[in-house]
Structure 1
């Protein structure tokens, strides 16, 4: 916490001033987190002072809030191009990203809990730089970057760079969710879904915990970024999140059974490969049992 406030002082983030009239300062909150490496070993304990920005009003407290963030598709394209050019990808760490961007608006915040000035308890801080939690912070961010090492772990994605190409997977996350949902000792199956038995609304089925069902679907959707083999099965099961039944839960669990036999399956981008875009598409005919609508799907290969 002291280190965080010292960073504020070093970067000239705020100035201590009397509270202006007719101004309601924003509240602050301390957040604590452990930073892990790809082996889930704690490498750093972090504390972060954030603004409760949900009280900000657009047009008064902020105007622009957009910030471009890389999608997983963009990251995969980047890795495919790196493999095509036989590049080695290195990783950099962003240090206090939001504390370098200057603010255009006048924003006041309360004194942080545990660090109230005894002589001026009613004073507030006027922000000169962006702070975590502000609506405009992502748009205003400027940051220092530190070189780390060859990329091996990025946003939950395990990256293995070898002489024959780049492999990406999320095997550690697969094992984590298998353990979370009690599927760590299930029997493996060869396909993520029964080919001849597609799910339907199942009006007379026994309802199950919808929150748990949605949580399982969310975990699977996150995995689709590196596991295109489960996209169709996951999207079919996602149709029934409103009123899931035991039949639907069984279909979702089958995907987890499939994972148990394919934990280490990866996407492989070969070295010195081509960089041509190839697309495939297909559709069934009236395949949905509930609406008799057709289901369309496609896949694009780059490299």
Structure 2
């Protein structure tokens, strides 16, 4: 509540005739400790019930961009090649910073109803968690702030900003909702950007970047190496699906698997068996690992994700095979280093490899300094 009042999130007013009130609720969460902060944190968040908002009245556009994973990897490649400093910030109560363009009325929060003003409602001045347009309004506010401080927005990724210094070096900034990475040649430049951001928004300084989006960033400055690892995430996935002690295999997808739609559910026994299998959940977890730091999973994940609507027992065996492959490669990570290689791309395709529609599979991978930054395997 202190944070909401400090941010001047709403004004108490009488509800105008013909206007609708949006309800709200408190959401309580216990956040487990991290290597930096051992103690668990207890968080309370006021959330508006945005599902009752009316399109065209309470909101119009809701889309908000986030940085692409390939942009994060490309910048990490630049950091390793030029031995840049890399620091991280976290925006506190990020969605409370957006300016609302519509008049939205919300009930007073439970437990904090102002005495003698029980019939008043909150006219929202700033966006709130739960509102449809909150992510968009936060991005618009952040974007206008960055451009007003001489940063240019990348034409290829709306969440990558850069500024050229007088000595020819660059300061970069990448934004993923409330996570900010700032690579620069000099720590003084990073401190200057941090000070500017802290004047406008409430920030938590995380200092040297250690983790972003579940990916661990490890650096060896002496060897000019930077590593991007998902070991913690992969181990959690294996534990979640009870594969932590499975026997490892050496390939993501074995040659003896020949998958097609003819292997979909057939008998009642198979339907009963697959109803207890978390097929979609496993494929989704594998897909996130593939998108972040595992280009070796691209083909295997593209195959198993085609059959999520109606998977059979054979598909489940393939998914388990991929998990067994991950069991043996938890320590494998992307390694960025200092080399003279620029951007190099590789592309190839098979011939009518899809057994259902006889379509060809195309795959590509692009590297910076010998490390993969962008990849895909698709029909």
Normalising to structure 1: TM-score of the pair? Answer: 0.91
Cα 1:13–1:273 shift into 2, 3 Å: same
Partner of 1:180: 240
Once the two structures are TM-superposed, the CA of residue 122 in structure 1 deviates from its matched residue by 2.4
Other structure's SS at 1:89 match: strand
Q: Which residue of 2 aligns with 1:151?
A: 209
Shift of 1:74: 1.4
Matching of residue 82 in structure 1 with residue 79 in structure 2: yes
Count of aligned residue pairs for this structure pair: 298
Specify every segment of 5 or more residues in structure 2 that has no aligned partner in the other structure, as ranges: 142-200, 370-379
Match of 1:23 among 16, 19, 23: 19
Secondary structure class of the residue paired with 1:31: strand
**Aligned to 1:49, which of 46, 51, 54?**
46
Picking from 88, 93, 105, the partner of 1:91 is 88
Q: In the TM superposition, what whole-angstrom CA distance separates every residue of 1:177-211 from its partner, at most 9, and x where no partner exists? A: 11111111110001011124332221447231387
In structure 2, the partner of 1:223 is 289
Deviation, 1:237, is 0.8
Alignment partner, residue 167 of structure 2: none
CA distance in 1, matches of 2:89, 2:100: 26
**Aligned equivalent of 1:277:** 343
SS of the aligned residue for 1:161 comes to: strand
C-alpha distance in 1, partners of 2:65/2:360?
A: 35
C-alpha offsets along residues 2-45 of structure 1, whole Å, 9 cap, x if unaligned? xxx11111111111112222111111122223345655955422
Larger relative contact order (CA 8 Å, sep ≥ 6): 1
Are 1:132 and 2:116 an aligned pair?
Answer: no
1:236-274 deviation line (CA, Å, top 9, x unaligned): 01111111111100000000101111111100011x333
Runs of 4 or more consecutive aligned structure 1 residues displaced over 3 Å after TM superposition:
34-43
Instruction: Identify which of 219, 223, 242 aligns with 1:161.
Output: 219
Structure 1 gap segments, 5+ residues each: none
With structure 2 as the length reference, what TM-score do the two structures score?
0.74
> Compared with structure 1, are the counterparts of its residues 265 and 293 closer, same or farther at alpha carbon in structure 2 (3 Å cutoff)?
same
Counterparts in 2 of 1:242 and 1:66: CA distance versus 1, 3 Å: closer
Contact persistence 1:217–1:234 (CA under 8 A): yes
- Counterpart of 1:299 (choices 365, 373, 377) is 365
2:9 aligned with 1:9, yes or no? no
Written as runs of structure 1 = structure 2, the 5 A alignment for 1:95-110 is 95-110=92-107
The answer as to 2:312 corresponding to 1:245 is yes
Structure 1: distance between partners of 2:299 and 2:92: 39
Shift of 1:48: 1.1
